[in-house]
Structure 1
Amino acid sequence: MFTEIYYLIRSRTDGKYLAARPNDDEKSYLLLFKEDFDAMSYLNAHAGDLANRLSVESISGGQISSVLQRWGFQGIGMVSDPLLPKIDFLERNKFSI
């Protein structure tokens, strides 16, 4: 996971990352995509009217831990199908970065 590149969606206005709260509680999970076109597909399918306010950026696997810690995310949400969407949620202590 350290050497792989992942893609995130980030707000151009306030710099916040796109996150999910799967159980409507306080825990939020940083959404990660394996390809940039998956992130763009997700934006077009689920936030087309906001696409001009969001951007896709890349991050190395080694940087994920610091982003999680800095922004207070509980873990990651790995998007495997951007159109449905299908997301696998992993808490920070359940995977190695």
Structure 2
Amino acid sequence: MLSSIHYLIRSKLDGQYLAARAKTESGDKTINYLLVFKESFDALSYLNTHAPDIAHQFSVESIPATQLKGVLQRWGYVGIGVVNEPLEPRIQFVLV
């Protein structure tokens, strides 16, 4: 996994990455997971399936696994959500 490339979806408007947001069990805080894709075409399929009207507002970026931790820390994500199936999303959440 360290030598692999991941693909992220990023907003062209504000630079934010596509993330899954969840409330903690107590409900007082929201935690964020960065959504990552194994292939660029999976990320594009996800956008075109679930947000066809605004897909043009996003871009797909590639990032090596060695830089992923820095992105997580910089943006305050608690982990990643690996999207295994973009059409009917199956996401595996991993705390980092």
Q: What TM-score do you get using the length of structure 1 for normalisation? A: 0.90
Q: Could you tell me how far apart the structure 2 residues matched to 1:50 and 1:83 are? A: 17
1:43-54 matched pairs, under 5 angstroms: 43-54=47-58
Larger relative helix fraction: 1
Q: Could you tell me how far apart the structure 1 residues matched to 2:62 and 2:72 are? A: 15
Structure 1's consecutive aligned runs of 4 or more residues displaced over 4 angstroms after TM superposition are: none
State the partner residue of 1:59.
63
Q: What TM-score do you get using the length of structure 2 for normalisation? A: 0.91
State the partner residue of 2:36.
32
Structure 2: runs of 5 or more not aligned:
25-29
Between the aligned residues of both structures, percent identity stands at: 57
Q: Which residue, 55, 72, 77 being the options, matches 2:76?
A: 72
State the partner residue of 1:13.
13
Q: Shift in Å at residue 2 of structure 1?
A: 1.7
Q: Does 2:2 correspond to 1:2?
A: yes
Q: Shift in Å at residue 50 of structure 1?
A: 1.1
State the partner residue of 2:46.
42
Larger relative strand fraction: 2
State the partner residue of 1:95.
none
